[in-house]
């Protein structure tokens, strides 16, 4: 493996999949996919579309050991686990399907992707609430920066939650995949650079968020994240916030309110219009879908996608569209370190790693 660090990563392919109307036979082929969990099918199809846009040599230009993948999910395995629990309690573990039983491990949901595209550098699954998809971009880019690979497939995938499961009414179902590679490599093969993305994750303790100083705490973390990502305060910035109504979500929303914080919300940054507020779904898909949309937008301004979960996990993704790549920005300082958090250990924030057009939350049709 070439341990030379990779810098200057750009996105060269974007693939999105909506569960509504999805047919794996059409998207992937008639044979070999029937028994894959839906979330695996969605991400395979999204990756296929992203690679088609990036070009046939996007991965083949490097060896298998130089290719990596990272996928974020919160609910890919929930429906499967429910079915397995029901089988065990009703008829016994001997009746579990040998085809689907291995997917009890969340790390296996990306295994077919690694097999099909010969990804031997690394294959990671991240599960932090709501930020898992953005953390997949962050962790994948960090791995490339350390020399573990030279090409990256990253994104998020979700399967609808079962009826009665907490958050089922806000289920997300579908996938988004991005192809990232060094900018010189993209230029040398004539591929279009769609833009750069950099992610900074941090933690806002729910107790701190609910306090009178919650908005100030959140604003400080957002300012630090944008500074670390290389965004200069004098550059116009569009903002999309994917948030819920929890104390953490409310604090983050208030942190983006210039009037509430007397112009100190984002360190005096000039915002392009009012921040766009998008209701968060139950999983990690919507924030990545908004990143994909910002990469495809004709507007040339840098764009920040902000998201947070009730548990306190939070992240910012700074998108520099392709038209702005030659402008001085430093926006791809991406994800090499995490922003400082208010001290308190984030519950459930660990990433799980294994060897294995906005989507509007991709709610199930019955919930729209």
Residue range 205-218, pLDDT digits in tens: 999 999 999 999 99
pLDDT at site 250: 96
Q: Strand pairing partners for 125? A: 71
pLDDT digits (tens, 9 = 90+) for 168-191: 889 999 999 999 999 999 999 999
pLDDT digits (tens, 9 = 90+) for 312-324: 999 999 999 885 5
Q: Which residues contact residue 23 at a Cβ distance below 8 angstroms, ignoring those fewer than 6 apart?
A: none
Better-predicted residue by pLDDT, 108 or 46: 46
Q: Is the model's pLDDT at 124 over the cut of 90?
A: yes
Q: Is the model's pLDDT at 117 over the cut of 70?
A: yes
Equal fold, 9-193 vs 196-360: yes
Assigned CATH for 9-193: 3.40.47.10
| Helix ranges restricted to H, 55-149 | 57-60, 78-90, 111-117, 132-145
pLDDT at site 88: 82
| Helix ranges restricted to H, 118-263 | 132-145, 183-188, 206-210, 214-228, 247-255
Q: Indicate the fold that domain 196-360 takes in CATH.
A: Peroxisomal Thiolase; Chain A, domain 1 (3.40.47)
Tell me 150's DSSP state. S
Q: Which residues contact residue 309 at a Cβ distance below 8 angstroms, ignoring those fewer than 6 apart?
A: 128, 129, 130, 131, 244, 246, 248, 280
Please provide the average confidence, as pLDDT, over all residues in the chain.
83
pTM, two decimal places:
0.85
Tell me 172's DSSP state. -
Comparing 51-65, 130-144, 268-282, the range with the smallest average pLDDT is 268-282
Better-predicted residue by pLDDT, 314 or 115: 314
Give domain limits for the chain: 9-193, 196-360
Whose tokens are 């999983």? That residue is 283
User: Which pair of structure tokens corresponds to residue 312?
Assistant: 């306190």
Q: Is the model's pLDDT at 47 over the cut of 50?
A: yes
Are 156 and 166 within 8 A, CB to CB?
no
pLDDT at site 167: 82
pLDDT at site 266: 72
Share of the chain above pLDDT 70, in %: 79
Q: Is the model's pLDDT at 357 over the cut of 90?
A: no
Distances (CA, A) of 149 to 261, 264, 308, 341: 43, 40, 29, 29
Comparing 11-15, 157-161, 281-285, the range with the smallest average pLDDT is 157-161
Work out the average pLDDT over 148-160: 95
Work out the average pLDDT over 277-299: 92
* Phi and psi angles of residue 315, each rounded to the nearest 5 degrees, phi first: -160, 155
Q: Is the model's pLDDT at 343 over the cut of 50?
A: no
């Amino acid at each position: 493996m070439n341990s030379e660090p990779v810098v200057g990563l750009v996105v060269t392919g974007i693939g999105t999949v909506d569960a509504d109307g999805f047919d794996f036979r059409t998207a992937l082929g008639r044979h070999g996919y029937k028994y894959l969990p839906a979330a695996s099918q969605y991400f395979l199809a999204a990756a296929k579309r992203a690679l088609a846009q990036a070009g046939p040599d996007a991965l083949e230009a490097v060896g298998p050991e130089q290719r990596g993948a990272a996928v974020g999910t919160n609910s890919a395995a929930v429906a499967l686990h429910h079915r397995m629990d029901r089988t065990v309690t009703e008829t016994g573990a001997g009746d579990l399907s040998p085809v689907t039983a291995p997917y009890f491990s969340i790390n296996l949901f990306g295994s077919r992707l690694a097999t099909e595209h010969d990804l031997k550098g690394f294959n990671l699954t991240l599960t932090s609430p709501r930020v898992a998809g953005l953390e997949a971009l962050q962790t994948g880019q960090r791995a490339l920066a350390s020399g573990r690979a030279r090409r990256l497939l990253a994104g998020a995938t979700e399967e609808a939650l079962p009826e009665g499961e907490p958050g089922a009414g806000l289920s997300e179902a579908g996938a988004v995949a991005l192809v990232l590679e060094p900018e010189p490599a993209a230029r040398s093969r004539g591929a279009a650079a769609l833009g750069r993305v950099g992610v900074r994750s941090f933690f806002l303790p729910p107790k701190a968020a609910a306090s009178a100083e919650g908005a100030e705490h959140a604003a400080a973390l957002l300012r630090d994240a944008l500074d670390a990502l290389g965004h200069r305060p004098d550059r116009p910035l569009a903002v999309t916030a994917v948030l819920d109504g929890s104390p953490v979500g409310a604090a983050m929303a208030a942190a983006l309110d210039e009037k509430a914080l007397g112009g100190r919300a984002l360190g005096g940054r000039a915002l392009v219009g009012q921040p766009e507020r998008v209701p968060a779904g139950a999983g990690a898909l919507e924030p990545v879908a908004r990143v994909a949309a910002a990469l495809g937008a004709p507007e040339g301004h840098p764009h920040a996608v902000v998201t947070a979960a009730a548990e306190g996990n939070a992240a910012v993704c700074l998108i520099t569209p392709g038209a702005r790549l030659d402008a001085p920005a430093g926006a791809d300082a991406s994800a090499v370190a995490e922003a400082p958090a208010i001290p308190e250990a984030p519950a459930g924030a660990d990433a799980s790693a294994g060897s294995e057009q906005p989507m509007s939350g991709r709610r199930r049709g019955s919930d729209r």
